[in-house]
């Protein structure tokens, strides 16, 4: 596995109005690793992801300083923000099936990118639905509405959609809060498969999930980094910081 840094975050600060939610954090994420981010609610995890693919732009009254480099390119200076977003797959906490057919849900991103040939789209749709472990359940009703699927299926559809633009980086933001444990395990298996092809950022408030999956884990608290280390260290009995131990073991939080 290559250890080259794919994402470099340097002194990233983010403020909503006068309230600073990220206080100048720096770290890097290596290619093809599963990078866990843990921390209690309101610690800035989601904001961090939104800085990464610049959907933070859609929130009014935000101020970002510092830099985020993806493959050496500063996302805040990138010329084609849409290509950047296609490079980064994003799965939101709550499943969102778009109000269109299952096929269109997955084909939406390639179409937005300018792909129009049916054979290519068919291929991508099947590939992504298979990767999202949803293909077998929906292959006979690809033209039914994505919003009419069950919650767990919609979350897998969301993952398939995040894969549909063939990203190099996949961000999952607490993907399991709305789905049952069995589906969660299935998706975790999928992630283990996917890591061969992409970098995965796994934001989670289930510390055990990060322990199971992540190579390295970042503990974020109140917009600042408490500790970043290999997961074995973070989840051991002697992490570098006492707060980490307390959070991971549920003493604090």
Partner 1 sequence: MMFTETPLVRRKLRQERLAKWIFFGMTASMIIPLVLIVGYLVERAWPSLSLSFLVDVPARGMKEGGVWPALVGTIYLVVLSLAVSAPVGVLAAVYLNEYARDNWFNRIINLAVINLAGVPSIVHALFGLGAFVYAARFGYSIISASLTLAIMTLPVIIASTREALASVPRSFREACWNVGATRWQTIKAVVLPNSISGILTGIILQVSRAAGETAPIMFTGAVFFKAVDKGDLFPYGLREQCMALSMHLYTLSTQVPGVKESVPFATAVVLLGSVLVVNATAIILRGYLRSRKKW
Partner 2 sequence: MGDGFGGGPASPGVLNPKAEIRKPKEIRKPKEIRKPKAEAASKLGRDMSTPQTDRAVADGFAVRRATRPAWAVLGERALEVLIYLCGISAIVFVLGIFFFVFKEAFPILGNKQFSLSQFLFSEQWHPTSELNKRYGVLAMIAGTFSVTALAMVIAVPFGLGAAIYLSEFCSGRVKETLKVVIELLAAIPSVVWGFIGLTVMSRLIVKYTGAPVGVNVLNGGIILALMSVPIIVSIGEDALKAVPDSYREAGLALGATRWQLVWRVLLPAGKTGLLAAVLLGVGRGVGETMAVLMATGHAVHIPHSPFDSVRTLTANIAAELGEAPANSDHYQVLFLTGVLLFLMTFVVNLAADLIVRGIRRK
Q: Which does 123 bind (CB under 5 to 8 A by kind): partner 1, partner 2, none?
A: partner 2
- What does the binding site for partner 1 look like in residue numbers (CB under 8 A)? 53, 55, 58, 60-61, 82-86, 89-90, 92, 94, 96-100, 108-109, 112-113, 145, 147, 158, 161-162, 164-165
Beta bridge partners, 140, equal: none
Closer residue to partner 1, CB minimum distance, 26 or 116: 116
Question: Strand 73-74 and strand 88-91: pairing?
Answer: unpaired
81 contacts partner 2 (rule: CB under 8 A): no
Q: Which does 124 bind (CB under 5 to 8 A by kind): partner 1, partner 2, none?
A: partner 2
Query: What is the closest distance, in whole angstroms, from the C-beta atom of residue 110 to partner 2 in the complex?
Result: 5
Site for partner 2 in 134-163 (CB under 8 A): 139-140
Q: Which does 72 bind (CB under 5 to 8 A by kind): partner 2, partner 1, none?
A: none
Structural contact between residues 143 and 102, judged by C-beta atoms closer than 8 angstroms? yes
3-state secondary structure 175-234: CCCCCCHHHHHHHHHHHHHHCCCCEEEEECCCHHHHHHHCCEEEEEECCEEEEEEEHHHH
Residue of 141, 172, 168, 169 whose CA lies nearest to 158: 172
Structural contact between residues 50 and 16, judged by C-beta atoms closer than 8 angstroms? no
Q: In the chain, what's the furthest Cα-to-Cα distance?
A: 55
* Chain contacts with partner 2 (rule: CB under 8 A): 83, 86-87, 109-110, 113-115, 117, 119-120, 122-124, 126-127, 139-140, 164-166, 197
């Amino acid at each position: 596995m290559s250890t080259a840094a794919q994402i470099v975050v340097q002194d990233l600060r983010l403020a909503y109005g006068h309230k600073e939610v990220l206080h100048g954090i720096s770290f890097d994420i290596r290619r093809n690793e599963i990078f866990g981010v843990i921390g209690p609610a309101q610690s800035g995890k989601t904001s961090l992801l939104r800085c990464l693919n610049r959907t933070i732009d859609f929130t009014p009254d935000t101020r970002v300083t510092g830099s985020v480099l993806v493959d050496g390119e500063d996302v805040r200076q990138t010329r084609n923000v849409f290509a950047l977003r296609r490079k980064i797959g994003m799965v939101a906490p709550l499943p969102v099936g778009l109000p269109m057919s299952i096929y269109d849900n997955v084909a939406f991103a390639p179409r937005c990118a300018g792909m129009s040939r049916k054979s290519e789209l068919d291929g991508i749709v099947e590939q992504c639905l298979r990767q999202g472990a949803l293909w077998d359940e929906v292959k006979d009703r690809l033209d039914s509405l994505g919003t009419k699927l069950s919650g767990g299926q919609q979350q897998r559809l969301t993952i398939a959609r995040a894969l549909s633009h063939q990203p190099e980086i996949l961000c999952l933001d607490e993907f399991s809060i709305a789905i049952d444990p069995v589906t969660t395990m299935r998706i975790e298996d999928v992630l283990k498969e996917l890591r061969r092809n992409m970098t995965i950022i796994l934001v989670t408030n289930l510390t055990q999930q990060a322990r199971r999956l992540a190579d390295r884990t970042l503990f974020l608290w109140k917009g600042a980094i408490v500790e970043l280390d290999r997961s074995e260290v973070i989840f051991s009995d002697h992490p570098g910081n006492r707060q980490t131990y307390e959070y991971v073991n549920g003493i604090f939080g």
